[in-house]
Structure 1
């Protein structure tokens, strides 16, 4: 009898990470893959990336939940709509395990519904820290709702244990994004430029900037300093991807559209590049700039330097390719200069990444397929004193 495993995806970035796992699960005769596509995937405003999923050959359920709003109130209401939608879907699909990745509000909604309906919940990329985004709280909340945990680093495993999760339920597997990179045949620079109808030249910058949903930074006002810093490097083209659907993302995107129109000779803006083009751009660029987690998690495999702006990713693990800067123009310019230096380029090429062996998806799938379902939803708090980490 096959096991029903339901995977949820709400954004372009998250789907790119999940894709290797979806491929493994779909090819397993002992698994019935149920894929739910929601959030920005279904929105033309954010590139309607459900078409990429369809082109990859995956059948899926659609769940509309995203309001056309750019405020925290809109995010909260969208989450509420999503909880209702997931409750109906899970009731109909009857999954044995629901799989979620990361820390966004769409994921929080799926986790809430699964937990309340006593469906086994597996969480990928728990135990990480991003102090500049509300995602940080969401990630830890999902950890406490989840029954299985797949983490990418030993320090992340320790944090999940610190939250009282049972050790045998926490699996150190590595990051799925590494599988995506190792399993993708990258486009050449010329092929990438052709697909964009924008002839890219060696040395271009790859730019992605999302709002910081905690604090004052990360909005359209900070963006002005960032764009001014980009103007200080006119010899470098800039390939931009739009911000996500978090509160404040639409204001950022309106300004990026204006900037691209003002600099057509050196700047191109895409709502979404898709997995293949994004990884190809990452491989070919001189540096990544902005505050995307991909610059910290996936770019090290390519040896690509990253200028990480502001606090959105503060606290996240670094692999040696990252230069952290503030949002002031002078800080960003300094960071770009350092990232372009031969010394730092060499440092990036020497990054050591454990567990990047192309088998992360296989390790996760093995657990999902074989973990006993009986008693899976029963949560027991594991006191750290039992691990010898606190004095008795």
Structure 2
């Protein structure tokens, strides 16, 4: 059996990987090795390793790397700890392939340790752009540190090849996270309301905002105050906050959310993590997705729900017609909300098509993992494009 070691460090990443993990585990020719690390193991960020256990997914290793500081120094030290720790994990598990998704900073030392150990790396979601975050640099660095690539669409495949990756090792499979929508039995409106112990309002907003990691903490605080000022103008509304991740400035945003909810408890509710089932169910029942999470770009269009995307964190991603981009400015955000709540915009949502596919990506990916000749991945040759 071919051993596929999947690493997950955040709630969002695990949610996207869930169907793929199931498919790898159920395939007779593959053996799943799951390593859980990062904010999954932190009570402060919801201890989301518990959700993985509740899902019945076997965890092979838990690796503590997250420090109590989200300063640049603290993040860099976490990365150093990850390199040391994962070198030992890979030596013990001896996988045939390491599989990672996305653009998180902790993945750089993890895949570096895999490369030093001469273990091929499969990278999901390469070739995408997120110009408002340091993740933009990390994603492309991960592409160059990987030997096998699975992208969400042809445009991203071409960008990976443009970076010198061999076309034979780049596969367009769609967005694996959309498989959850097809396979999960989502909660009814009544069941969702019961799960959050709150009735939905005339205007219900699902809000997730992460720091733009190209900014200073002071800039993050200024921008989030602009956003909260806009939210304060809403009437007949419920704002469901899901808190920020463990980036620089994430803890500051979470403290500001707590303070805002304490002052506006009649129209707000906050969760460290909703979990995948409740989050996708929320997309089915809310009126607007708001913030700068990739879920507003990738998953929300499948539910034909409007997205107000704030700032530059997702700048450069392919977007559906349901997404409205707005600068971090109170008046501009209020105007954007008025636009997406308008009758004409709401009626237009019925025609929205998700450019990231319709799901069923995991099985295509699994077929490649089973059949690819791993011996060809032991070394890399730069692919030159002829002009």
TM-score (normalised: structure 1): 0.96
Deviations 1:17-39 (A, max 9, x none): 00010010011111110001000
C-alpha separation between the residues in 1 aligned to 2:78 and 2:230?
Answer: 35
User: 1:324: Cα distance to partner?
Assistant: 0.6
Confirm or deny that 1:244 pairs with 2:242: no
Alpha-carbon distance between aligned partners in 2 of 1:190 and 1:320, rounded to the nearest angstrom: 29
SS at match of 2:121: strand
Q: Deviations over 1:363-389 (max 9, x none)?
A: 01110111111131210100011xxxx
Between the aligned partners of 2:296 and 2:219, the Cα distance in structure 1 is 17
Runs of 4+, deviation exceeding 3 Å = 215-218
Aligned residue for 1:160? 160
Distance in 2 between the 1:29 and 1:91 partners?
Answer: 24
Q: Look up the match of 1:36.
A: 35
SS in 2 for 1:353: coil
User: In the superposition, relative to structure 1, how do residues 355 and 270 fare at CA in structure 2: closer, same or farther (>3 Å)?
Assistant: closer
Deviation, 1:202, is 4.9
Q: Indicate if the aligned counterparts of 1:173 and 1:355 stay in contact, CA closer than 8 A.
A: no
The CA distance in 2 between the partners of 1:338 and 1:377, in whole Å, is 52
Distance 1:202 1:178, change over 3 A: farther
Distance 1:347 1:68 in 2: 45
Q: State the Cα RMSD in Å.
A: 1.3
For residue 289 of structure 1, give the secondary structure of its aligned residue in structure 2. Answer: strand
Q: Which moved more, 1:211-220 or 1:109-118?
A: 211-220
Q: 1:355 offset after TM fit, Å?
A: 6.6
Q: In 2, Cα distance between the equivalents of 1:221 and 1:342?
A: 32
Residues 1:371 and 2:372 aligned together: yes
1:264 CA drift (Å): 1.2
2:280 corresponds to 1:279 = yes
Q: Partners of 1:360 and 1:333 in 2: how far apart? A: 37
Q: Secondary structure at the match of 2:34?
A: strand
Aligned partners of 1:190 and 1:200 also within 8 Å: no
In structure 1, stretches of 5+ residues that fail to align are none
Q: Does 1:139 align with 2:139?
A: yes
| 1:71-110 equivalent positions in 2, closer than 5 A | 71-110=71-110
Kept in 2: contact 1:5–1:31 (CA 8 A) = yes
1:361 maps to 2:362: yes
In 2 relative to 1, CA 355–256 (structure 1 residues): closer, same or farther, beyond 3 Å?
A: closer
Aligned-pair CA distance for 1:128: 0.3
* CA deviation after TM superposition for structure 1 residue 347, in Å: 2.9
Report the counterpart of residue 12 of structure 2 in structure 1: 13
Can you give the 5+ residue segments of structure 2 that lack an aligned partner in the other structure? none
CA distance in structure 2 between the partners assigned to 1:344 and 1:59 by the alignment: 44
User: How far apart, in 2, do the equivalents of 1:21 and 1:319 lie?
Assistant: 24
Q: Tell me the matched-pair count.
A: 385
What does the per-residue CA deviation read over 1:298-336, in whole Å, with 9 as the maximum and x for residues that have no partner?
101001110011111111110111111011100101111
Aligned to 1:150, the other structure's residue is in SS state: strand
Partner of 1:198: 198
Displacement of 1:348: 2.7
- State the TM-score, normalizing by the size of structure 2: 0.97
1:35/1:355 CA distance change after superposition, 3 Å: same
Match in the other structure for 2:349: 348
Residue 218 (structure 1) shift: 6.3
Deviates more, 1:330-339 or 1:108-117: 108-117
> Judging changes above 3 Å, is the alpha-carbon distance between structure 1 residues 355 and 282 closer, same or farther for their aligned structure 2 residues?
closer
Please name the residue that 1:262 is paired with: 263
Q: Which range moves more in the overlay, 199-208 or 146-155?
A: 199-208
SS in 2 for 1:105: coil
Q: Which residue of 1 aligns with 2:122?
A: 122
Q: CA deviation at 1:95?
A: 0.4
Q: Which moved more, 1:308-317 or 1:347-356?
A: 347-356
Deviates more, 1:181-190 or 1:252-261: 181-190
